[in-house]
Structure formats: structure tokens, C-alpha cells
Structure 1
Amino acid sequence: MTRRVLILEDQPFQRGYLVNLFSARAGVQVDACEDVDAAIALCACQAYDLVVSDLLMPGQDGIQFIQALAAQPRPPRLAVVSAASRRMMSSARLMAESLGLDVVGLLAKPVAASDVDALLDALAQTRPAVRTSPAALTPEPDAVQLRQALADGSLTAWFQPKKSLQSGRVVAAEALVRWRHPQLGTLAPGSFLPALCRHGLEGELLHAMLTASIQAQARWRSQGFRVPVSINLPPHLLEQSDLPDELLALTLAAGGNPADLCFELMENSTTRHVSDFYAGACRLRMKGFGLAQDDFGQGLSSVHNLVNTPFTEVKIDRALVSGCARDPALHLTLTTVIALANQLGLTIVAEGVESDADLAALRQLGCNQVQGFLVSQALPSDDFTRLLDEDAPDEGARGSRAASR
């Protein structure tokens, strides 16, 4: 398979050097240009698998190029190569990812042949699609459609496995919503979740995901597997003072066990009054549920909340995980976060693990569990059961497959 790569570099020597490095790899076709306008024009008329861009350039710089690239209808994946500081490149990565670009690497000059090999390996790890129709063709659902989907079970839970870095086996799962749309097929949350939030249906979705997770756990238990499940909980819902009581009543009525369920407090919202956040967190733990800080290292999550909230688990955001094996700053940050979490007695889960090198680094640093496309994408309940069967070492080990650090 031929991969098309575009290199944007203003210095002739560096441009030629990069062209030679990439061209020496089998199946790689390389184009190169020296300014932003030319690069954007090439991207508009040619589909590239990867764009490698400098940051420090006269005239329009690499940041402006990334902004322009993100405006393309189907932008290629991106790698940043620069003599700028690592923190500046990390900021460029965060900016690019916030615009929806897939950043596969940050390369410091001078670039080595091994850097190019690692970049092409990362490029080969494409993310599988979970929708059957392009988002641009998916009409935004209204409140009536969403309520109907919640009522008839079309909005359902798929499960992404969490693997133990100690045993190498699946020890837990995260419930992620999918819509089995009657006309459009299986839709990922990006095509309907924003509308659901705008219509104030997050509480109803939380109940549906909890029920679906308990039902899946019952099926897995009948096959001999105990699988704890994590469920996303937007923190602003904790403003409802009786939410912990509601969730416990629903869990018990459905035949679930609070000890096998963990609510992940998402980082994209918070309560208007901080007292509601801490009251809700304490009461969920007092009911016996697990509690996780989701997306730690991103958005509103903080060390203060991590230390002062009765969490049982911390999930490290992919922004701190992706590239940690090659990025000294990320590696140092993870070292500190994992050491703190271990001192707090938390289960440590790394999200967005997509390379063997990052997996090895996380294992060496003492991370407990990982999830991401390197392990598995989210799966329907029946497919998750088959994964458990394949993962089980023997029949006798099934009944004890509880989450472990």
C-alpha cells in the first residue's frame, strides 16, 4: 500500500533531508513545499495520509498552517517537526487536536531515521470507524427522536475493555453509548450526544447506560465472568441531591451490585456550587459505587480534586499518554501523576493507548490498566463476551475475573 506524505519545510536543506528520509521507506510517496499557501493548495487537490509540518517559518507559520489544515473537509493526519521547545510543540499538538486533527507525532530536529520509522508505524495504526455513515450526512436528531431512542433501547451500551498491565487480561470495561439507528446504522456519540445534552437528556442517558451495563454484567456472569463496568457521569448532574439514592435504587432493582459499578466524573462540566460536587461524590461512594476522575490532565480536572475527592480510580487522559515513550516532558508528567495516584491508593487507568512503545512505558511507570485501540475498540455486549472467552486462560479462572490493580 502506498502512503502519500506531504512535507512543509521552508529551509531547502532540511526539506531535502526530510524528503530523502521518507522516500527511502518502501511504499512512501513524498511531495514537499516551502510555504503554507502551497501546502494548503496541495492538500485541497490531493489526498495525503500524512502531513509533516515545521512550526518556525517566515510569513505564515506552522500554527497558521495547522489552523488552515483543520478547515479542510477531510484533513490528513499530522506530524510536527521543529527546533522549537518541546513545550511549544506540545502546545501545537493540543491546539491541533482541539481542532479535530489527528496528531501522530512530535519530532525534534534533527530528525533521525528511527524517528521516521516510528512515525510511519504510528501512521499504520489507523483508528477503526464505528459509524456506518459520514457525520456530515447524519441529520441532528430532535428531542422527540432522542426520547424515543432512549425508550426503545436504540441508545445502548457498547463496552471498551480495560486490560491489566500485570496479568495482560481484560479486568474491566467502560460503557460507551452507541445509537442503533433504524436508517443510518450504528452511530457514534459525536453525531447525537451534543443534541442530547442540549435537550437536557443526560440524566435519562445515565439511567439507560446503567441499566444496560447491569444487564450485560448478568449475561457475563452466566458465562462465568465478573466484569466491573465504568459509566460516564457528567458532574453537573450531582446538583440533583437525590441522584445517589436514585442510582442505588435502580441498581438494586435491576439486580446489580454497586461494588461492580464505577461512575466516571467527566471533566467537561462541573456543578454551580462546589458543595454539590463533593456531596454527590461522597454519597456515591457511601452507597458502595466506585468513583473515577475521568480524563485527568485535561479540561477541568485538577490535582486538588484528585486529592480531596473520594475517588477509587483515576483515568489519565490520552493527551498525557500518546507519545509518552518518546516525549521526555510527557514521561516526566506521567511519572509524577502515577506516583501520586499510587500514594492515594487509586487504580490507575491510561486512556488512548495506541502504540506498543507507550504501553511498555506505562507498564514500567507502574500504571495498572490500559484502554485504547491497541487493546480494542468498544464492542457490543455479545462481542465483548467473545473477547472474554478468547482472553480466559482456562475454565477454572473465569469466576474470579474481578478488577485488580
Structure 2
Amino acid sequence: MQSNFKVLIMDEHSQDIMKLYTMLHATGLFDIRIASSATGTINLLENNHFHLAIIDISMPYMDGLQFIREITKRQMNTMLVLTSTHSRGLMNSISLVAKEHGLAVIGTLKKPYDDEALKRLTLQICSRKVGIPPRRHIYENPYHVFDQNMVENSLKEGSIKAWFQPKIELNSGKIIGAEALARWEHSEYGFMLAGSFLDAIRLYKLQKKLLFKILNDALDAHTYWQHNGYCVPVSVNLPVPLFDDDQLPEELFQQVIAREVDPANICFELLEDEAISQPLNYYMGISNLRLKGFGLAQDDFGRGYNSMYNLISSPFTEVKIDKAFINGFAGDDVRETALIASVQLGKQLGLTVTVEGVETMRDLQFMRCIGCDCAQGFLISSAVSAEDFGELLSSKTSEMYFHSSSTF
């Protein structure tokens, strides 16, 4: 990380400012500015690019919610850290409000600050990649930017395609799976993550076309890795509204066996960003997939429309704990308790428990300690091309690193 990583601290309490400033400045990694009012912060954000703003959500004249609405309205997309003397519950709630507005919240910090919490925050910030966030209007109104022909043509020609994030086994540190994630290499807007165009996919009702495109790419990758001596199961995201098409399980099965791939090496992760409209279709669909030999994962457990009842009444083989439990769990007793309970539930149901969003060695060691089976996250690797994933498979360095004998 270079010293051009610009950080803005918004706080009216000089003692708190100095603690933050001293800790961050000592690393030599940050260019730090200070503002003592919300209005001053907004003026600085308008006239300068800051990678990160650390804001007190209890500032006078403009509280945290008002501040979030204001910077969203002005299309400012700096990353945020929220600080406050208020309860963890309130801070987490405001954090979710910011995330729903499309802002990246990388942590919360309870006042009064303690040295350990500040060290963890500094490590969290240092683990983030430096870069100018993409233009916000793409994320705000994707269907105004991407017309239907553009999206359909990109699916056909392959500029929308799968990249693969590795999943490691925590006991061994070995890569034992991959999640296929949609990426778009756009000629005008550059390389884009799925979050920037999935709303357009839904608007134009192209979820099924995207599903089959990503599945086909996953089959290509699985075959490519197998030819190089690695049998790597691949997970593919499947939106639950698609189960209203009762032919879907058979169509998926036919595509897989036509490529001579064992269905056991394909796992469908159920995305529940939308509610289940027809429970009968849903349960018929997932039962069909399991009868055909596919794996089935409850994705983002603890978020969205999924529930404990759905977890125990569906034939899942895996539960994936949402990254919201992981980000900022250190020092948050409530979140830590929920995380441990989720892992124990999954284990008692006989499911493989995978945790998403692992970003630090501390996270990794804690997940191993509480009994998680597998992990994904930026600490291990972001999603990469099939070819680069092949290089990860052949590298022994990562396996040695993640099989650290250190404990939490």
C-alpha cells in the first residue's frame, strides 16, 4: 500500500481524533486529513478524492443517517468506518443502511477506543486494496446504463463470464472447491463485478441465460483443471425464482451430463435475494436437483429471505455463512455469539459449513477454532480466471500458509 491512500477523519472530539491519527500515522501508509463537522467533511469529499472516511455517527447538526443520505445523494462513494459511543446494535444497523445505499463499510469502532480495537482496524484498512472506486451511477441505475441488447450480446459473445473464487478446507489449507462468479469485461466501463449489473439482468429477465452461461463456463473450467490433474468441484449461484420453471432441473442435468461431468462435482448455491413465490415449485425443484446427484448449498445464511426453517426443511449439503457475520465480529460479542451458533447448527444438521468473507488471519484462525469446515474470502483469493485458478492449484505456497498451526 502506498502513502497516497487518503483517509478523512470526521470527529469533534480532539482526544479521539489524536488516538486515531497517531495509530494510522505511525504506519506511514496513509495521507490523513481531519474535519470537525459533517459540513466540513462533505466539502472535503466534494473537492478531494478520499479512499476512506472514518466518521462519528453522533455529530451535531447532522447524524450518521443524515450524513449517509447526503453523500449518497451527491454520489460520493468513499469507503466508510463508523465510530460511536452508541451500542453495537445501533452501529450495525446504521452500517446496514449505508450498505443498502451502495456504500462500502469496512468496519465499526466503539468509543472509547482501546488500543487492540485500533490495531485491528488498522490491519483491516491495510488489507484493503487501493483503487479509485468505479463511477457510482453505474451502480445506482444499471438498467439506465445497460440496455437489453447490450446485456444479451455480452452474454452471447462471452464478455460476461465466470471467474472463480477458491474455497479452502480449514484443516488442511488445501483448495477443495471453487465458486463461479459472474464478471463483465465491458469495453467502455472496464472490468465489473456482478453487483454492478445484476439488477439489469433481473430487469430484462435474463437470470436463466446468465445461469446457463456461468454453468457452461464452470464446466469448461472443471474439465480444464481435471485435464491438469485436479478434480475441483464448482459451485454455481441459482436464483430461487427460476424454480417456477419445472423443467429447470432436467435442463441443468442434461447440460452437465452432455459434458461428461459427474453432477456430484457441481453444487448449486441458492440465492434468496427474492422471496420464494411458489413453495411447491421450490421444494420440487431442489428435491429434483438432489435426486440427480447435485450438491445444494444455502447461500448467505443469516441474510435475505432464508430462514432456519428453510435450512432444516431443504435437502442442503452445505450452508454458507454470510460475510456480514465475519466483517467486524472481533470485539462484537453479539455477532460472535450468532456466528458460533450458526456454525454449531450447521454441524448438528450434518452439513458442510463454509464461511464467506474471510479477510484476515485472525478471522481464519477463529473459524478453524469454532469448527468451520471451509472458508472463502479475499485473504485466500479474490475470484480469478480459470487459468489463474489452475496456477493456484499447482502452488504449494498458499497451502502451507493457510495450514498455519497458530491458534486463535
TM-score (norm 2): 0.88
Task: Give the alignment's Cα RMSD to 1 decimal.
Answer: 2.6
User: How far off is 1:10 after superposition?
Assistant: 3.1
Kindly provide the amino acid, as one letter, of the partner of residue 97 in structure 1. Answer: K
Contact 1:282 1:310 in 2 (8 A): yes
Contact 1:264 1:291 in 2 (8 A): yes
Q: Does the alignment pair 1:256 with 2:258?
A: no
Q: Does the alignment pair 1:383 with 2:388?
A: yes
Contact 1:314 1:348 in 2 (8 A): yes
Q: Deviations over 1:139-166 (max 9, x none)?
A: 8333333333333333321111111111
Q: What residue in structure 1 maps to residue 182 of structure 2?
A: 177
Q: What residue in structure 2 maps to residue 121 of structure 1?
A: 123
Q: What residue in structure 1 maps to residue 402 of structure 2?
A: none
Contact 1:234 1:270 in 2 (8 A): no
Contact 1:135 1:191 in 2 (8 A): no
- Secondary structure in structure 1 of the residue aligned to 2:145: coil
Tell me which stretches of 4 or more aligned residues in structure 1 moved more than 6 Å. 128-131
Q: What residue in structure 2 maps to residue 292 of structure 1?
A: 297
CA distance 1:378–1:15, change in 2 (3 Å): closer
Once residues 63 and 260 of structure 1 are traced to their aligned partners in structure 2, the CA distance between those partners, rounded to angstroms, is 45
Aligned length: 393
Q: Deviations over 1:7-37 (max 9, x none)?
A: 2223454445544554455344443333211
Once residues 53 and 19 of structure 2 are traced to their aligned partners in structure 1, the CA distance between those partners, rounded to angstroms, is 16
Once residues 32 and 247 of structure 2 are traced to their aligned partners in structure 1, the CA distance between those partners, rounded to angstroms, is 60
Q: Does the alignment pair 1:95 with 2:101?
A: no
Q: Please point out which of 67, 81, 84 is paired with 2:86.
A: 84
Q: How does 1:40-119 map to 2 (within 5 A)?
A: 40-119=42-121
Q: What residue in structure 1 maps to residue 403 of structure 2?
A: none
Q: How does 1:132-281 map to 2 (within 5 A)?
A: 140-181=145-186, 186-281=191-286
CA distance 1:357–1:181, change in 2 (3 Å): same
- Secondary structure in structure 2 of the residue aligned to 1:320: helix
CA distance 1:100–1:127, change in 2 (3 Å): farther
Once residues 34 and 191 of structure 2 are traced to their aligned partners in structure 1, the CA distance between those partners, rounded to angstroms, is 39
User: How far off is 1:86 after superposition?
Assistant: 1.0
Once residues 255 and 13 of structure 1 are traced to their aligned partners in structure 2, the CA distance between those partners, rounded to angstroms, is 65
User: How far off is 1:258 after superposition?
Assistant: 0.8
- Secondary structure in structure 2 of the residue aligned to 1:226: coil
Once residues 38 and 184 of structure 1 are traced to their aligned partners in structure 2, the CA distance between those partners, rounded to angstroms, is 32
Contact 2:57 2:84 in 1 (8 A): yes
Moved more, 57-66 or 377-386: 57-66
- Mark the runs of 5 or more structure 2 residues left unpaired by the alignment: 400-408
Q: How does 1:17-32 map to 2 (within 5 A)?
A: 17-32=19-34
CA distance 1:178–1:25, change in 2 (3 Å): closer
Q: What residue in structure 2 maps to residue 397 of structure 1?
A: none
User: How far off is 1:54 after superposition?
Assistant: 1.6
CA distance 1:27–1:253, change in 2 (3 Å): closer
Q: What residue in structure 2 maps to residue 346 of structure 1?
A: 351
- Secondary structure in structure 1 of the residue aligned to 2:395: helix
User: How far off is 1:220 after superposition?
Assistant: 0.9
Q: Deviations over 1:310-363 (max 9, x none)?
A: 111111111111122332221110100000000011111111111222222111
Contact 1:78 1:102 in 2 (8 A): yes
Contact 2:51 2:130 in 1 (8 A): no
Contact 1:267 1:300 in 2 (8 A): yes
TM-score (norm 1): 0.89
